[in-house]
Amino acid sequence: MYTKIMVPLDGSNLAESALALAFAFGRKTGASLHFVMVIERLSSIFGLGRVEYRGDWGHEYLGNLVDAAASEGSKKSTYSLNTGNVVDELEKEQDSSGADLVVMATHGRGLISRTWFGSVADGFLRRTRVPLLLVRPTDSMSVVNFETSGSTVLIPLDGSAPSESALGNVIDLGELFGAAYHLTHVVVPPTRITTPYLPHAADSNEVNAHEGREWAANYLELIARRMRHRGLRVTTSVAVNHQVGQGILQEANAVGCDLISMVTKGKNGLDLLRLGSSIDKVVRRTHVPVLLHPAQA
């Protein structure tokens, strides 16, 4: 399980939406917290004083967070205040600090950095080699706390070994929180063909779609049975949708899950983090925290 959790911040309330989960994960896993802030240098020489001011403010802000973490039960919390390109510095800090989990908000706009989502969270998730827990702030800026009773983890699976590679990690994590699990698979129906020159095409499509749903149900039940042998609470469902990402969101809403766990590579090693991909769509549209795991061999 995790030993050090890195939490990138920019001083805004939006970015701080990740703190509740970071504190909760730290308490449950016993991991230390490492807060990171990056000051973007300004090209103008007139920006030098502003950088120094932000540095002073940043040290005070991060020092207060270390104190807050201690009051939340986190031991040996640390912080780092860096200067440079935000994504580059976060990547370096993750490597040098030895963090094995990064918890960050998908949005932020504070005194330290000018923008967050699209240039930081989006850019960093494409580079990280450790699990990344993304928290999307709500309009009310309310915090998300996974420690509530009856929490459910949604785990989309596509039938490939890479998509199953993080099961052990997320199961161990869920057990710490006493969570239930919901496994789902999205079946993409074949394109409907209606032409007098292929009179049996529609029937063939229906047969293929039925077989796909049947295979998915059996596949999920096989994995669920293994998990239930460990005393875990597991349910399954098969979604049918022309877009995998939309199907996952559909199941997340239907189940009312509290966390979505996904792997960043799926069938044939396909990188799912490209623009418009399933994971990208889920991260951008859900208000549920998303735990992304780099695929393991």
Comparing 223 with 295, the larger pLDDT belongs to 223
Domains assigned to the chain? 4-135 (3.40.50.620), 152-293 (3.40.50.620)
Distance CA 34, CA 98 (A): 10
pLDDT tops 70 at residue 113 = no
CA distance 289 to 182: 15
In the prediction, which pLDDT does 203 show?
A: 54
Chain centre to alpha carbon of residue 210:
32
pLDDT digits (tens, 9 = 90+) for 52-101: 556 788 899 999 999 999 998 887 899 999 999 889 999 999 999 999 99
Q: For residue 150, is pLDDT > 60?
A: yes
pLDDT at 198: 56
Stretch 147-166: mean pLDDT? 86
Q: What is the pLDDT of residue 156?
A: 96
The residue-averaged pLDDT of 189-211 equals 61
- Compute the average pLDDT of residues 264-278: 54
Judging by DSSP bridges, how do beta strands 78-83 and 180-187 pair with one another?
Answer: unpaired
pLDDT category, 146, cuts 50, 70, 90?
Answer: low
pLDDT tier at 112, thresholds 50, 70, 90: very low
Whole-number pLDDT of residue 192: 61
In SS3 terms, the chain reads as CCCEEEEECCCCCCHHHHHHHHHHHHHHHCCEEEEEEEECCCCCHHHHHHHHHHHHHHHHHHHHHHHHHHHCCCCCCEEEEEECCHHHHHHHHHHHHCCCEEEEECCCCCCCCCCCCCCCHHHHHCCCCCCEEEECCCCCCCCCCCCCCCCEEEEECCCCHHHHCCHHHHHHHHHHHCCEEEEEEEECCCCCCCCCCCCCHHHHHHHHHHHHHHHHHHHHHHHHHHHHCCCCCEEEEEEECCCHHHHHHHHHHHHCCCEEEEECECHHHCECCCCCCHHHHHHHHCCCCEEEECCCC
Calpha distance 83→263 (Å, rounded): 31
Among 101-105, 161-165, 196-200, the range with the most confident prediction by mean pLDDT is 101-105
Distance CA 132, CA 293 (A): 7
The rounded distance, in Å, linking the Cα atoms of 65 and 77 is 9
Reported as a pLDDT band with limits 50, 70 and 90, residue 142 is very low
C-beta of residue 217 within 8 angstroms of C-beta of residue 238:
yes
